[in-house]
Structure 1
Amino acid sequence: MEAFAAWLVVWAKTRAVGWLARHWPKLVAAVLTVGGAAVFVAVTAATLVSGTDQDAVAANACTELGYLVDDAAYQPPPVDQKPAIPTGGPVAGFGRDDVDKIVNARAIVAAGTEAGVGRRGLIVAIAAALQESGLENVRHGDRDSLGLFQQRPSQGWGTPEQVLDPRFAALAFFGGATSPHFHLPAGKSSPAGLLDVPGWADLPVTVAAQSVQRSAFPDAYAKHEARAVLIVDALIGGSPAAAIAPPPDVGAPLRSDHSGAVTAADYRASGVDIDAFCSSSFELASDSRPGAGPGGQIIPAGAWTAPLQSRVTSAFGNRFHPVYREWRLHAGTDFHAAVGTAIASPTVGVVEGVSWSSGGGLTVTITHADGVETQHLHLSEALVKPGAEVQGGQVIALSGGSGVGTRPHYHFEVHVDGEPVDAEPFMLQRGVNLRAWS
């Protein structure tokens, strides 16, 4: 019996060692992925969940990289597209007949003060409510959406009666420890509110609101910001409300040296994609124009060219999405591009489709030789039709801000045999350096 037991132990060890020998790369990758995510969350909480001091920390790192930190992260809509701000009411930003709307706005401000989001959070919430409901506690909406923030009972925001309660709806929007959806063991709300979004106070108002609302029109909140500022300042007496509550246990700062300066290198070393953060939040000081598009010059058959001559703002690979606030594959390469910049076909091909999706917006897809397909996303206008033959260098579209994103830009994808690949080494093998204008 003892001999059998000894044999069994040896057999089990042999099997375990064999299994580890076959699967150790997967185990290491899993540990690195989980560890990287944990580091990112910790660092983001410590550095990008901001009050005034942390705003300066992130801004200094972006300044080091050559960004103008006082520029907004989006282009405000033209004046004629902004809704008129009502006047004549008892509170600035409201009309004479807006008594119910004022009551709802006061409920949001009271809830925000209770949640500790400060003036910035109140502005985000009022702008969101202006877009979603016009500050009316509406009993209808898209599918089962209800109330000031058009929250959906089917998505866990509460019962219809609860989301029609302005205080309940506002506390749910703000999230954090005062949210009715706060889960103590997890330390966050589900559905997530504003305080559950890492670095929300560093984001533009429209991006912060979108991070909670997940609207099909992510840029829609921007046009309400001016009125939201007017309303919030009127309701809090022109001075900030409760200070932004710091998150619990945010950990030690990135640097402990005497300078106290957090550099871009410190962010990168700690797992934060500071380059993507800065490019989505600020303008480069050297950017007097958004990058030159191709001139429509046709190149020889079989040759390749850059679809856009502009700086790369976000590379291919796994990243923390700036809008959805989760880790996911960024399957393409982003370029800085103003709306209306010309986009060229990188080589000869046939237009497979001109389509629209909520994430990618207006998209042109082109098939090329050898199982290669390129996709061109976030366009404002397509200049080709499905089935058309295109030449390398031919202008096929104009860049834009359609779909989900923090600002107008151009997204370029390369697929080989149906799988996305990194466009930079792919194009470099064909004699095109996409970083030549970065």
Structure 2
Amino acid sequence: MPRTASSARRHTGRSRLLRIAAAFAVLVALAGYLTAQYISGNKGVERCVVQSADGSSGRGHAYRLSPEQAANAATISAVGTTRGMPERAVTIALATALQESGLRNIRHGDRDSLGLFQQRPSQGWGTERQILDPVYSAGSFYRHLAEVPGYSRLPLTVAAQRVQRSGFPQAYAKHEPDAALLAAALTGRTPAALTCTPTQTAAGPADAAKVRSALARDFGRSVLPAAARAADGAAGGAPAASTVSVPVKPGRAAGDGGRVRRGWELAHWAVAQAETLGIEEVGYAGQVWQAGSGWRTERKESGTTQVRIGLVR
């Protein structure tokens, strides 16, 4: 039956109302998402980037991640090198954590799986509290990896599967390029390769004692001189320091190359932890990173015996 003019107008009106309602629903959803991101500190936004040695940002030469992911990756790397594990082991660990948790310390998973590596208390990986400690969980992963004969010569997916016993063993392989890029920067082999842009939400001055505590947590107490550790314990109500200087001890590589690599490892760790610890500047070997502007060359060349970490004031 042909429509009358009035029924056509009613149909057009209903269609217009439906379109307006749909558009409003989209706007409400977007507003809710942006509000959640603001409240949570925007942790899921990719505001860190690691680049290859040639500085290229083309496909396959750069990897973007959130500050939360960068901080967890830096901890995983630091725990590995502190245990004397090679860069290949760090790559395997990072690829595994990328697959298992997206480099997020999550409190859920398949059955009772938890944390960065989705380790299970029921399978002897530790208590829930231990597994949710990134230093503990990374250490557990490396301990099991070290027991895999010839792991450094195995394909990454095979080495990871020997530790994880996953139902999807081939899934680790797709993360190898990004994990290798991260490992090269976080172990210090590629200088000035990681930069982050923290949000400017610091409620007050950063705490130098917390920075030193985090360094000792990830790298071990020997990363800082005993005098610095004692000063933290006796600080009391003393004014907070605005800079933390970390001495760079010679690394495992021969000559000054080992020291420089160790220095860049510490410098990149500080950049990755910038949002968590209120770090706004990192200086090492003639390069300075500043929150919001990335790395630049210093006018006056600095040495390679210490990393300078400047804090939000």
Query: Quick check: TM above 0.5?
Result: no
Q: Bigger radius of gyration, 1 or 2?
A: 1
- TM value normalised by structure 2: 0.42
- From the two aligned structures, give the one with the greater helix fraction: 2
Q: Relative contact order (C-alpha < 8 Å, sep 6+): which is higher?
A: 2
